[in-house]
Amino acid sequence: MSFRFTTHHEAGRARTGTFVTPHGPIATPTFMAVGTLATVKALDPDDLRALGATMILGNAYHLHLRPGDALVREMGGLHRFMDWDGPILTDSGGFQVFSLEGLRTIDEGGVDFRSHIDGSKQRFTPESVMQIERNLGADVVMQFDHVAPGQSALDTSRDAMERSLRWLERCRVEHARLRRDDPDAPTPDQALFPIVQGGIHAELRQASCRGIRDGGDWIGYGIGGLSVGEAKPDMYAMLDVVDDALPHDRPRYLMGVGYPEDLVEAVRRGVDLFDCVAPTRMGRNGAALTRDGRINLRNARHRADPGPLDDACDCTTCRRFSRAYLRHLVTADEMLGLRLLSLHNVHFLVALMRDARAAVADGTFDGWSAAWLDRYLAGERARGSVARPVLPHSKK
């Protein structure tokens, strides 16, 4: 068995741990950068290693359409294809397929949809997605799930949650069959994670957790369908519910959540793994994360600022470049600007989780997290940065 999860320290429900995968160990809690199309946008694998990334993501939907999971497998699998020898997790594409409003029809067997690239007809089933993820060869593969819109009513959320449970069983059977019948896949020993659904309905989240646990003993657990438009208190409440309902000795992965304040709040609620396109997307939009909230480099007040984005940051962008230079690159639409900001933003979240681990380990987590949130949110309020995209991971 290539997978193992060990917890080391606790602070309330927060904990530090080590999640061992076929491609190495991951210190948790951690933030995983999103490499939708076999590249974390604008960053090189060397950048990712240098900033301390351990596990990164790929996406089954996007990679199936381009360049094709069969080609990735022919090229030796995702690790070799993109030259990333650390752990990789692939999302199943459930979120993407269900986001194709008007381009897809759902039945119990699966989903018919049209490619967002060329309009070609496609069909995903729990079984076909397991084959795609087998071909890609990530360490952790997510189940194919039915994702309902964030603020769905009870009935809609229940239908999606219950279908996700039925599809989980089909994923489990097919995943086991592939492990047995296809031992030459790029990563023979993959872990299948179920995904907790249920919208913002506590009873559905509890039922989802029960159904998942009735279906097997899983290496880790995904928590889906959050940070998709619901209010933050609703998201945090769901995390409280799920924390109680999932086993404590397994890693929990909160999918698509990547705002700094949400990471800290979720670590407080026992979450171990995070991913989000926000840091790279913000970078491409000229925005940067700082301990005092987000800043936009297009703002004229950075024009002649010789200081770094964040004077406590040890990323290579902050060690080398001024806000004035970064603003120049961003306003001139230079690719280097987008890259340097993406690098800083991913580093910011990776380092935030590193600091959280240290605070849990040395017994200062409660004070650390409260002070961190106070400072960050005060900066956000001062700047009026209250807007957030409704679907932060919609294009993942």
Q: Which active-site residues does the annotation give?
A: 91, 275
285: contact with a second copy by CB under 8 A: no
Minimum Å gap between C-beta 298 and a second copy is 13
44: contact with a second copy by CB under 8 A: yes
Binding mask 302-341 for a second copy (x = CB under 8 A): -xx-x---------x---xxx-xx-xxx-xx-xxxxxxx-
25: contact with a second copy by CB under 8 A: no
Q: Which is nearer to a second copy, 209 or 326 (CB)?
A: 326
Minimum Å gap between C-beta 38 and a second copy is 7
What DSSP state is assigned to residue 26?
Answer: E
Helices 154-181, 202-214: axis angle to 10 degrees equals 20
Q: What are phi and psi of 8, to 5 degrees?
A: -115, -55
Binding mask 81-110 for a second copy (x = CB under 8 A): xxx---------------------------
75: contact with a second copy by CB under 8 A: yes
42: contact with a second copy by CB under 8 A: yes
Minimum Å gap between C-beta 96 and a second copy is 15
What is the DSSP code string of 274-335?
EE-SHHHHHHHTTEEEETTEEEETTSGGGTT--S-S-TT--SHHHHH--HHHHHHHHHTT-H
Q: Which of 4, 8, 49, 66 binds a second copy (CB under 8 A)?
A: 66
In sequence order, the 6+-apart residues with CB closer than 8 A to the CB of 18 are 4, 5, 6, 8, 25, 26, 27, 28
Residue 252 · residue 213 · CB < 8 Å: no
Strands 273-275 and 121-124 come out as unpaired
How far apart, in whole angstroms, are the C-alpha atoms of residue 340 and residue 317?
6
Minimum Å gap between C-beta 329 and a second copy is 6
How far apart, in whole angstroms, are the C-alpha atoms of residue 305 and residue 308?
8
Q: Residues interacting with a second copy, by CB under 8 A?
A: 37-39, 41-46, 66-67, 71, 74-76, 81-83, 303-304, 306, 316, 320-322, 324-325, 327-329, 331-332, 334-340
